[in-house]
């Protein structure tokens, strides 16, 4: 059985190398970008550690020796889970790394928007010295922080916003258990959209959540509301968001992820003063980066040894369909 890294944009892969070699496994790092790259270069490969290269039904059907795909990160929207399940391929991700980093980044974006830090920094550097240029700014205890998606990261964000005095409301149709959420008032999705001063997104991207924030949702938001997205870019209709920011209907947006990455030069979000853009970095800290690398390698090792994967998404899908 053979392990490869299909693609990786990190500076190095030393931790993966050390972890796999210590367990007695060799591997090869490739630079696959497309379906054709995967089909041509993964012949005979059993286990793939993958970052962005698209694992579609065509890819799975063309690679009969493939047994497992381990994803760098949480989201797997570029991997066809149904096709993987049909092909008997196990798909795993790493949903329990960098949780504090992402929630911290979302909090930082929210506070920067509310306190108007970016425009006031720019104004002061340009020679200004007038807090009235930031008016209005509201007290946190008088504001509502809305959360869409209350998984691991959404819960951490909600807890941190609650600790700073915000009233926190949340919606997550996928939730079965609400234990441990004493600091969140569970409401409907429409309540989050219409009542929140800040709306933060922490849900996966799928057919149900794509453009969950669209022109219609934005039209129902409070005047001056802010939107924060550190989850997946496709959750927001970026054209509608840009129009609302430019018109003044929304007070600001903090965007770490976009529908097409890197952010296109022609993106309507570029150049908007009250739109903070960061380059898909919410997950990152030195420690989170090391943790991710170690965990993907350990997950590949588990599979090679015949042990159960910690996060077997395709197996879970097969159980749901059984």
Active site residues: 232, 261, 280
Token duo for residue 286: 């030195």
Burial 274-313 (b: 16+ CB within 10 A, else e): bbbbbeeebbbeeebbebbbbbbbbbbbbbbeeeebebbb
Read off the DSSP letter of residue 264: P
Contact between 102 and 230 under an 8 Å Cβ cutoff? The reply is yes
Of 318, 114, 311, nearest to 227 (Cα)?
114
Residue 132 makes CB contacts below 8 A (sequence gap 6+) with none
Read off the DSSP letter of residue 8: -
The residue whose two tokens read 């770490």 is 256
Angle at 275 between CA 271 and CA 276, to 5 degrees: 105
| Cα first-last separation, the chain | 29
Of 30, 51, 69, 47, nearest to 292 (Cα)?
51
Question: How far is 243 from 245, CA to CA, in rounded Å?
Answer: 5
Angle at 111 between CA 109 and CA 112, to 5 degrees: 65
Question: Residue 144's beta-bridge partner residues?
Answer: 167
């Amino acid at each position: 059985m053979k392990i490869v890294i299909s693609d990786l944009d990190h500076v190095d892969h030393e931790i993966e190398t050390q972890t796999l070699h210590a367990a007695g496994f060799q591997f090869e790092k490739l630079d696959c970008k497309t379906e054709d790259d995967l089909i041509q270069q993964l012949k005979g490969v059993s286990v793939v550690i993958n970052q962005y290269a698209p694992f579609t039904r065509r890819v799975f059907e063309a690679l009969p020796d493939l047994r497992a795909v381990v994803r760098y990160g949480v989201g797997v929207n570029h991997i066809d889970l149904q096709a993987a399940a049909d092909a008997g391929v196990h798909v795993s991700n790493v949903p329990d790394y960098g949780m504090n980093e992402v929630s911290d980044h979302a909090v930082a974006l929210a506070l920067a928007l509310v306190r108007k830090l970016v425009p006031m920094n720019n104004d002061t550097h340009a020679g200004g010295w007038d807090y009235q240029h930031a008016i209005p700014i509201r007290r946190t205890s008088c504001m509502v922080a809305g959360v869409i998606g209350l998984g691991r990261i959404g819960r951490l964000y909600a807890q941190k916003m609650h600790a700073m005095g915000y009233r926190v409301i949340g919606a997550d149709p996928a939730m079965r258990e609400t234990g441990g959420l004493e600091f969140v008032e569970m409401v409907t999705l429409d309540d989050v959209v219409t009542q929140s001063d800040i709306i933060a997104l922490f849900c996966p991207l799928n057919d149900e959540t794509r453009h969950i924030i669209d022109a219609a949702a934005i039209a129902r938001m409070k005047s001056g509301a802010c939107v924060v997205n550190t989850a997946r870019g496709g959750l927001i209709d970026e054209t509608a968001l840009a129009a609302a920011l430019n018109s003044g209907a929304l007070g600001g947006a903090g965007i770490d992820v976009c529908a097409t990455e890197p952010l296109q030069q022609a993106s309507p979000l570029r150049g908007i003063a009250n739109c903070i853009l960061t380059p898909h970095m919410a997950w990152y800290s030195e420690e989170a980066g090391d943790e991710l690398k170690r965990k993907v390698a350990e997950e590949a090792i588990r599979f090679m040894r015949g042990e159960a994967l910690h996060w077997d998404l395709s197996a879970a899908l097969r159980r749901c369909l059984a």
